Structure 1
């Protein structure tokens, strides 16, 4: 495993981050513990979760993933960088979601209880809340950091212009600044290269991409037709979102081209797809996930791969259409 600083901070994180959104629904607690153990044995010190996880659940399951992670961390919390998120819907009341001061201050306390910890290393906005003024959100997160409940703050799923505005407002008000951004990024989704990644580089932000395998499509194991049961493509409303993003003829055709290219080089598409994400100098750590511990065998090895320059250029050229805003989403 290799390690690096999270953006311009002094916080050292592994170049692979374990995502936990399957824990508690697609993956039961005992299997989740096996996945965490396997990642830890592979040198991963960076864990990412969210209060609304497990993905694909409903209000009866929200918080379950944090609880599982908290149980596993008991007695070893000091050895891991722990990231979680808020903004998603956590209850029936209208204020049980979003980035208002009320919800953020309620949500961080609830996450601390579920995670069984006194502090969160990286507390992130899961998405942008256009219904709440940025100043209110930034002030609430500043309170969270100054109170010691979180060490750093970040965002996920933000447009570049909104992140730039948030950074500017924090600077003007001399309040805690976002240190990282968590965007979707893979060979099948490259739009962030146009504006978000240049912004992150200029502002010294860590970049923690999720979906480096495009929901599993870039493993090459899925075939056109009905999505197989038990995968993230079939889990509740989230499954529909994944189908909209990737389950289309264009993506399947592109995966086949990529598989042939990588196979001709004697390599594994899963490993190459993650190595390609890590090869971008703007990327700090790629989020990997699993529903079974053995699935981490390939993904963990991606950290050790240095892509041949010629192969990387071919991969870039082959997926250039996914860099445009009009590519399949």
Structure 2
């Protein structure tokens, strides 16, 4: 593959915006606790030096150390490589509780503005490229949310606004409210989406497509479930895949995962690369958020991007991990 074609494959526009981002986004949820600061900086260096220009975090990440720890780590990294700030598309989130304070959570105008200013201080930057609502807050009206976001955009502290963990109808109501205010609104949505979790195909992905919203799947390997968890467990090297989301799902999906790992062996491919390649190939997916603990995990993601699945491989995966109902968007997916 030529350098030009490889570059074209690595970058795309963020939804309906003119912003170009890498199709792999470096997620930082493991920074703090699972990844110590020197290792985190090594991951950041390796990612950007490999062409990944999209870095995602959240103000509450690093909670195993303290909430805000991960933004502090990224801020120190950026300070050590100041020329990168103009190259990196930096995303963070607001909404999850930052303390026990009554107003230190949610999407009130007060919290959005104060949390943004705190994130800017920790990140050591003048602006956030993508400021994402970590969860929908149905106790707050959209006029209040957009008033706060508009203020931050006007002040130059935020370039674009995104969402995370929204339902399809949340996207629709948010966008219609933004449209009434002549505001750009949501440009991206982070959602849980992988071979084992396909419900976003029912309503969220169609809504995102209708509104020109970029889709950024998180946990594309379902916490390690799709990364070869059974083989790793047998070898005694299952770290993240032996706990949390992956462990819970394995209880009901063991036979499917056994067949999946056998199928990947027949493909001659690593399970993690297969799971990532499937997510990256899905219609509407803009950039896949990975949460690496080692540089090898980033390398695997880049290889998955460079080695798309064949039609035969995709067909076998679709049979093993079928879509919800009849497949496609609601309501046709469940109509008889």
TM-score, normalised relative to structure 1 = 0.89
Contact 1:207 1:282 in 2 (8 A): yes
Alignment of 1:151-170 (within 5 A): 151-170=159-178
Determine whether 1:63 maps to 2:72. no
Structure 1 residue 206 displacement after superposition: 0.8
Alignment of 1:154-303 (within 5 A): 154-222=162-230, 231=240, 234=243, 239=244, 243-244=247-248, 246-250=249-253, 252-303=254-305
Alignment of 1:289-328 (within 5 A): 289-320=291-322
Determine whether 1:34 maps to 2:42. yes
Aligned equivalents of 2:172 and 2:104: distance in 1?
27
Per-residue CA deviations over 1:113-152 (Å, capped at 9, x if unaligned) read 0000000000000001122112211221121112111100
Q: 1:228 to 1:248 in 2, by over 3 A?
A: farther
Structure 1 residue 242 displacement after superposition: 5.9
Per-residue CA deviations over 1:206-245 (Å, capped at 9, x if unaligned) read 11110001101111134789x98963765xxxx4x6654x
Structure 1 residue 247 displacement after superposition: 3.9
Other structure's SS at 1:296 match = helix
Q: Structure 2: where are the runs of 5+ without partners?
A: 1-6, 331-336
Aligned equivalents of 2:317 and 2:223: distance in 1?
19
Aligned equivalents of 2:312 and 2:144: distance in 1?
48
Q: Structure 1: where are the runs of 5+ without partners?
A: none
Other structure's SS at 1:72 match = helix
Could you say which residue in structure 2 is the equivalent of 1:47?
A: 55
Could you say which residue in structure 1 is the equivalent of 2:333?
A: none
- 4+ runs of 1 displaced by more than 4 Å? 222-225, 227-230, 241-244, 321-325
TM-score, normalised relative to structure 2 = 0.88
Structure 1 residue 295 displacement after superposition: 2.5
Contact 2:202 2:324 in 1 (8 A): no
Alignment of 1:69-84 (within 5 A): 69-74=74-79, 75=82, 76-84=84-92
Other structure's SS at 1:7 match = coil
Determine whether 1:119 maps to 2:127. yes
- What's the Cα RMSD here? 2.2
Other structure's SS at 1:94 match = coil
Q: 1:34 to 1:215 in 2, by over 3 A?
A: same
Structure 1 residue 177 displacement after superposition: 1.0
Other structure's SS at 1:183 match = strand
Q: Say how many residue pairs are matched.
A: 314
Per-residue CA deviations over 1:54-108 (Å, capped at 9, x if unaligned) read 26x3xx6100001101111221211100000000111121100000001000000
Structure 1 residue 249 displacement after superposition: 2.7
